[in-house]
Structure 1
Amino acid sequence: MRGRPDVPGGGAGRGRRLGGPRRRAMSRAGEGNTGMKGLTGGFPLRCCIALAALATNALVLNLFVVPSTGSYPSYGGFAAALAAVLAYAALLAVAARRPNALRHPSVPWAALALFCAGSALVAAGYRGESTTASLAGWLLASLATAWLVVLTGLALAHFSPRTAFAAIPAAYAAVYVAASALVPFVESLRAARLALLALYVLTFLAAFACAVRPGRAALAVFADGGGGAAARPAASDGYPPACSKAGGPPKAVLFAVLIALGLVSGYTAFVVFGSRESAGVSFVAMAAAMLAVIVASRFSKSRTDVVFHFGLLLVLAGLLVVPFVAQASSGERVALIHVSNTLLAAGSECFAMLVWIVLAARAASRPAEALALQAGGRMAVALGMLGGLVLGTVASSFSAVSPLVPDVVAVGFAFALVAYALVGLRRFSFEDALSGGEGALPGSVPGPAPAVGAPGTGSLAAASEAALPGDGTRAAIERSCGALARKGGLTGRETEILAMLARGRSAPFIAQELVISPNTVKTHVKHIYAKLGAHSQQEIIDLVDGQCAAE
C-alpha cells in the first residue's frame, strides 16, 4: 500500500524517490560525512570546557575589579564594562564589512597577543594606580575576550540544540562547584589581587586552547554554507531592525530583551559586589540553581522560557530581600545580604546561560549572519551591563541624601522587571523566537497542519537517517533551498526546515534535532508547503532538484 505523500518521512510509497544530489549522497553513507568530521569527536567536550573557562573568567573579572578601598565600581569596573562594549562594537563592524578577515590564520595569535599585552597593562595600571594604563589594558584584553566569546558561540551553534542546551548549564554548574573551593583559597592569599589577575589570564588561556579549533572550524562552515539572503532574519523572527526589512514591532523585541538581560546583570553585579558587609555568595547554592534549571527544563517543551522565568524569579527574590537589610540587626544583616547576593547572582547567571543558548540557536538558523548575530547580540548585552552599573552607581550616590534611596531603587527595579515581563514580553516567547516566531504572526495562514507521522521504513527515510550529504552536495542543497526561500518568502527557521526536508529528514527527527515541539514542526511544514505550492515532501525534493539542475 502506498505511503501517505503528505507526511514527511511518513511512508515508502512508489512516488518517494531520491533526487539527484540526495541519491548520490546517500549512496555514500558508508563513507561518512567529511564536512562534519571537523566538528565531531572531542569538540563538544572542548566547547564545554571553553564555556566553563569563560564563565570562570567573567567571575574572576568581577572579583578583580572590586576595589580594596573606596566605592564600587571603581574606574577599573567601568573601564572593563566600557571596553567590552567597544570591543564587541569593533568586532561587529569587522563582521559586517570584512567577515573573511577573521578567518585568517594569524587572527588567533593576534588575539592572544592582545590579551597578554592588555593583561600586562592592567597589572601595571593596578600597581602604579594608572587609570590610562588600566583603560588601555582592559580595552585590549576585552577585544581578545570578545573574539573568543564569539568564536565559542559559533562552535556551540554548529552542534545540535540538544547538545548545546545540555552543555551550557552543565558548564556553569561545574564552574560554581569549583568556585566554592577555589575563590576562598585565592582570596585568602596575601597577594589576592595578583592571584585573581593570574587566574583571569589562566582561564582565558584554557578557553583559548579549547575553543580555537572548533570555533574556527564552525566559522569556516558558516561562511562557506551560508545561504546569503535566505539566511537573513525575517521580520517575524523578532530580531533587530538592522536584520530585517519588514516593519512591525516584533523585529526589535529580541534585541531589546538582550539589552534588558544585560541591564539586569549589570545592576545585580553592582548590588552583589558593592556591599562590603556581605559574606559573599554561596557558590554551592548557585551550582544547585544551575542544576535545577537542567531538571526543570526537562519537564517543559519551552526550555529556553524555563531558563528565563527561573532567572527572573531568582532576581526578583533577591531584589525584594534588599529593603529588609536596613531593618535587621548586624548578624541578621550579613545573613540577609548573603541570601540576597546569592539569589541575584544565580538569577544573573541564568540570564548569562540564556544569552549563550539564544545566540547559538539564532546563529545556527542563519549561517550567513552567524558572526554578526553573535557580535551584535553580545554588544547589546554588554551595553545593558554598562547601563546597569551606571544605574546602580547613581542610586548609590543618592544614599548620602537618604539611606533609603538604594532600597527604593531596588524595589522599583523589581517592579520594572515584573512590568516588563507581563506587559513588554506579553506576546514574546524565547522558544517562539528561536523557532521562527510563527505563533506570534498576525498574518499566519489558518487551516489544518500537514499530518506528521513516525519515520517511514522506505528508501528515503532509511537513507536520510543513514548519513548526511557530503560537503559539495550539502552546499548545493543549501544554495537551492536559499533560492527557493527567497522566491517563496520563507523565514529563517522555515528555510532551515526546508533544507532538512530536502535531505529526506523526517518530521520527528526535525523536532528532536531543533528541540521544538512536533506541533511547531507541523506549523512550519504547512507554511513551507503553502509558500512553495507543494503538497508533499517528495514535491519539495523535486523542487530542490529542479533548482539544483537550473544552477
Structure 2
Amino acid sequence: MGRLKWGTLNKRVRLSVFSFDVHASIVIGFALHWTWVWVTFWSSAFYSVSPQVGQAAGVMTLEPLWLLSLLTNVLGYGALFVLSKRRRVFGRSMTAPLCAGAVTLVGTMLVSYPSAATFGDAASFVYMLGALLTGVGSAVEVVLWGELLSILGARQTIVYSVLATIAGSAFYLLITFLPGQAARFLTALLPVAEMWLFTRRQNMVRNARIAAADESPRDGAGSQPPTRGTVRNALLEIAGISLFFGLSYGVMKGFFVLGTETLITVRDYLNIAALILGAAAILVTTSVFRMDFRHMTYQVALPLMAAGFIFISLDYPLDLIGFAAHQMGYQYFYIIIWALWAILTRKLNVPVARFACISMTALMAGQLGGSIIGAQLISLATDRYTMAIVAACSVFVILLVALFAFESPFPESGWGVFHPLVRDDAAPKFRRSLEALAELRGLSPRETQVFELLAKGRNCSFISAQLVISEETAKTHIKKIYRKFGVHSQQALLDMIELDGKCG
C-alpha cells in the first residue's frame, strides 16, 4: 500500500497502486451503509424480535423485515426514478441526507423494539411500519452515495467499494459479537453517522456540474448528445441484468430459509469472507486482466453464481461453500453496477439517479421475487435428488443468460464496450475528456484553462505566462483545482487523469 495519513476523517489515505487520494470519510461512511444492510438483513440480530407477521401470505418463514423492506425499496426506487426527471441531482439538498438518516434511524428503532407497544396487536403494526421506513430511507441513501461516487469516476468507485467492503466487514463482525440489545441499538445509529459523513463531502455533489435538462454539449467538445433510443437501451440493459442477478440472489437466500440457527450463523460468517474475496477479485480483473464490464459480468460474476448452485445441492459443508461462491459473484457484480453508474452518466450525459434507481428497482424486485421462489422450492425439495434437479435447472438458466445476454442486441449503446482501465491516447479525445472532468468537478472557465495546462505537465510559472496572470493568482487557481479533485500535488492530479474512466 502507500503512505497512510490518519488524523481526522478528512485526512486522505494514499494508495500508490491507484495513484490517487482516498477520503477516509467516504470510505467509512459508505462502509457504515453496508454494515447497516448486512446486520439488519443478513444477520440474526433482528430476527429474534420479529413478530409473527406475513406467515398467512404464503411466503413460508421468510423474515417480515426482509419482505417488507424490499417491497418498500422497490416502490422507493421507482418513485425516485420518476422524480429524477425533474430533480436530477438529489444530493445537492441538505434535506435529503438528513431525512434519509432520520427515517432509517426511526425505522430501525421500530423493528428493534416493537414490543415497546403494549396495547393490542400494536407490536406487529410497529414492526411493519419500521420495516417500511427502513426501505424508504435506505433507498434515498443509496442514490445519494451513487451520485457522490459517480462524480469521482468509475475507478475511484471501485476502490471505495472495495475499501468499504473490507471496513464494513470488520464493523459487521464487531457488532454481531455484541449482545442482541446493544447490537440492534448500535445498528440503528449507523444511518445517522453514515449520512453525517456524507454531508462532510456533499460539497463535491454541489460543485459538480451534473447533466441538466437544459444543458447542451459544450462548443468545441465534438460530442453529440445521445439519442433517446441510446439512453433507453442502456437503461433496459442495466435493468435487465440487475433483475436477473437479484432473482439469483433471492433464490439462494430462500434456499436457507429453513436452515438451523447454527447453519445460518456459519453461513453469515462465510458470507463476510465471500464479500471480501469478491471485492478483491474485481481489483484483480480490472487492474491486471483489464477486462471490460461485459466480460467481468458474464465471464466472472455469472460463473461464480452458477458454481454456487452446483454446490448447494451437496451435503454440508459443501452447500455453504456454494452459498459463499454465489455471494462472491453477487458482490462482484454489485460493485460493477456502482462503477457503471459513473461510466454511463458521463458517456450518455444522463443524471446518475436515472441509472441508480432503475437498476436498484430491478435488483430489489428480483431479490423479493427470488427469495419467495427459493423458499417455496426448498420446501418442495424433500431429498437430495430433487435438490440436484433444482440446482441443475438454476445453472442451466444462468448459462443461457450468459450466452444470449453477452450477444447484446445493442452493443454500441450498451455498457459492455466500456473498459475500466483502458487508456486512450488520442489527443482530441484526451482534451474532450479533460473538459468533461473539469465540468464534472465544477471548475470555473479560468480553472479549466489552468487544469488543462496542469494536465500537460506545465508548472506555475509557465501557466502564469501563458494565461497572462500573476503567479499568485495561478497558485490560487491550482490550489482550488487540487481541492476539488481531492489531491495534494500535480503528480497526483496527473495520475488521477490517467486512471479516470474517460481519460485512462
The TM tier, using the shorter chain, reads: 0.5 to 0.7
Contact 2:293 2:416 in 1 (8 A): no
If the length of structure 2 is used for normalisation, what is the TM-score? Answer: 0.68
The residue that corresponds to 2:487 in the other structure is none
The residue that corresponds to 2:289 in the other structure is 300
Note the C-alpha offset of 1:226: 6.4
Asked whether 1:82 is paired with 2:71, we answer: yes
Q: 1:453 to 1:314 in 2, by over 3 A?
A: closer
The residue that corresponds to 1:481 in the other structure is none
The residue that corresponds to 2:196 in the other structure is 209
Rounded Cα–Cα distance in structure 2 between residues aligned with 1:224 and 1:258? 24
Asked whether 1:259 is paired with 2:243, we answer: yes
Mapping 1:63-74, distance limit 5 Å: 63-64=42-43, 67-68=47-48, 72-74=61-63
Rounded Cα–Cα distance in structure 1 between residues aligned with 2:426 and 2:91? 43
Q: 1:515 to 1:476 in 2, by over 3 A?
A: closer
Mapping 1:138-153, distance limit 5 Å: 138-153=131-146
Mapping 1:511-522, distance limit 5 Å: 512-514=499-501
Rounded Cα–Cα distance in structure 2 between residues aligned with 1:391 and 1:211? 36
Mapping 1:28-39, distance limit 5 Å: none
The residue that corresponds to 2:329 in the other structure is 347
Mapping 1:225-304, distance limit 5 Å: 228=215, 234=227, 237=230, 239-240=231-232, 252-272=236-256, 274-276=258-260, 278=263, 279-280=266-267, 281-282=269-270, 283-304=272-293
Residue deviations 1:264-283 (CA, integer Å, cap 9, x gap): 22223333565225222423
Partner of 1:96, secondary structure, is coil
Rounded Cα–Cα distance in structure 2 between residues aligned with 1:475 and 1:92? 34
Residue deviations 1:380-431 (CA, integer Å, cap 9, x gap): 211111121122122134246x675444323211210111001233347999
The residue that corresponds to 1:3 in the other structure is none
Mapping 1:266-415, distance limit 5 Å: 266-272=250-256, 274-276=258-260, 278=263, 279-280=266-267, 281-282=269-270, 283-305=272-294, 307-308=296-297, 309-325=299-315, 333=316, 335-399=317-381, 404-415=385-396
The residue that corresponds to 1:182 in the other structure is 174
Q: 1:110 to 1:420 in 2, by over 3 A?
A: same
Note the C-alpha offset of 1:304: 3.0
Rounded Cα–Cα distance in structure 1 between residues aligned with 2:101 and 2:92? 15
The one-letter amino acid paired with 1:210 is L
Rounded Cα–Cα distance in structure 2 between residues aligned with 1:100 and 1:468? 18
The residue that corresponds to 1:420 in the other structure is 401
The one-letter amino acid paired with 1:212 is T
Equivalent of residue 27 in structure 2, options 45, 48, 71: 48
The residue that corresponds to 1:197 in the other structure is 184
Rounded Cα–Cα distance in structure 1 between residues aligned with 2:114 and 2:425? 64
Contact 1:435 1:516 in 2 (8 A): no
Rounded Cα–Cα distance in structure 1 between residues aligned with 2:503 and 2:357? 25
Q: 1:342 to 1:515 in 2, by over 3 A?
A: farther
Percentage identity across paired residues of the two chains: 18
| Aligned-residue RMSD, C-alpha | 4.0
Rounded Cα–Cα distance in structure 2 between residues aligned with 1:152 and 1:431? 28
Partner of 1:301, secondary structure, is coil
Partner of 1:514, secondary structure, is coil
Q: 1:284 to 1:183 in 2, by over 3 A?
A: farther
The residue that corresponds to 2:81 in the other structure is 92
Contact 1:157 1:164 in 2 (8 A): yes
Contact 1:83 1:135 in 2 (8 A): no
Residue deviations 1:26-54 (CA, integer Å, cap 9, x gap): xxxxxxxxxxxxxxx98743322222222
The residue that corresponds to 1:135 in the other structure is 128
Rounded Cα–Cα distance in structure 2 between residues aligned with 1:109 and 1:289? 32
Residue deviations 1:69-90 (CA, integer Å, cap 9, x gap): 9964122221121121122122
Q: Which has the higher helix share?
A: 1
Residue deviations 1:59-115 (CA, integer Å, cap 9, x gap): 112235674599641222211211211221222232224447774433332223322
The residue that corresponds to 2:468 in the other structure is none
Contact 1:232 1:369 in 2 (8 A): no
The residue that corresponds to 1:62 in the other structure is 41
Mapping 1:498-513, distance limit 5 Å: 512-513=499-500
Note the C-alpha offset of 1:299: 2.1
Rounded Cα–Cα distance in structure 1 between residues aligned with 2:497 and 2:214? 19
Contact 2:91 2:147 in 1 (8 A): no
Note the C-alpha offset of 1:150: 0.6
The residue that corresponds to 2:162 in the other structure is 169
Q: 1:434 to 1:101 in 2, by over 3 A?
A: closer
Note the C-alpha offset of 1:156: 0.6
Partner of 2:314, secondary structure, is helix
Rounded Cα–Cα distance in structure 1 between residues aligned with 2:191 and 2:280? 25
The residue that corresponds to 2:482 in the other structure is none
Residue deviations 1:438-461 (CA, integer Å, cap 9, x gap): 9xxxxxxxxxxxxx86769xxx98
Rounded Cα–Cα distance in structure 2 between residues aligned with 1:258 and 1:219? 29
Rounded Cα–Cα distance in structure 2 between residues aligned with 1:435 and 1:511? 21
Q: 1:77 to 1:203 in 2, by over 3 A?
A: same
The residue that corresponds to 1:542 in the other structure is none
Q: 1:310 to 1:170 in 2, by over 3 A?
A: farther
The residue that corresponds to 2:107 in the other structure is 118
Rounded Cα–Cα distance in structure 2 between residues aligned with 1:94 and 1:271? 36
Note the C-alpha offset of 1:305: 4.0
Note the C-alpha offset of 1:317: 1.5
Contact 1:262 1:381 in 2 (8 A): yes
Asked whether 1:473 is paired with 2:445, we answer: yes
Rounded Cα–Cα distance in structure 2 between residues aligned with 1:232 and 1:145? 33
Q: 1:108 to 1:299 in 2, by over 3 A?
A: closer
Which has the higher relative contact order, 1 or 2, with Cα contacts under 8 A spaced 6 or more apart?
Answer: 1
Q: Which ranges in structure 2 are unaligned for 5 or more consecutive residues?
A: 1-19, 53-59, 218-223, 450-494
The one-letter amino acid paired with 1:319 is F
The one-letter amino acid paired with 1:201 is A
Contact 1:270 1:389 in 2 (8 A): yes
Q: 1:86 to 1:454 in 2, by over 3 A?
A: closer
Count of residues in correspondence between the two structures: 404
Residue deviations 1:447-500 (CA, integer Å, cap 9, x gap): xxxxx86769xxx98xx79x95774539999xxxxxxxxxxxxxxxxxxxxxxx
Q: 1:347 to 1:183 in 2, by over 3 A?
A: farther
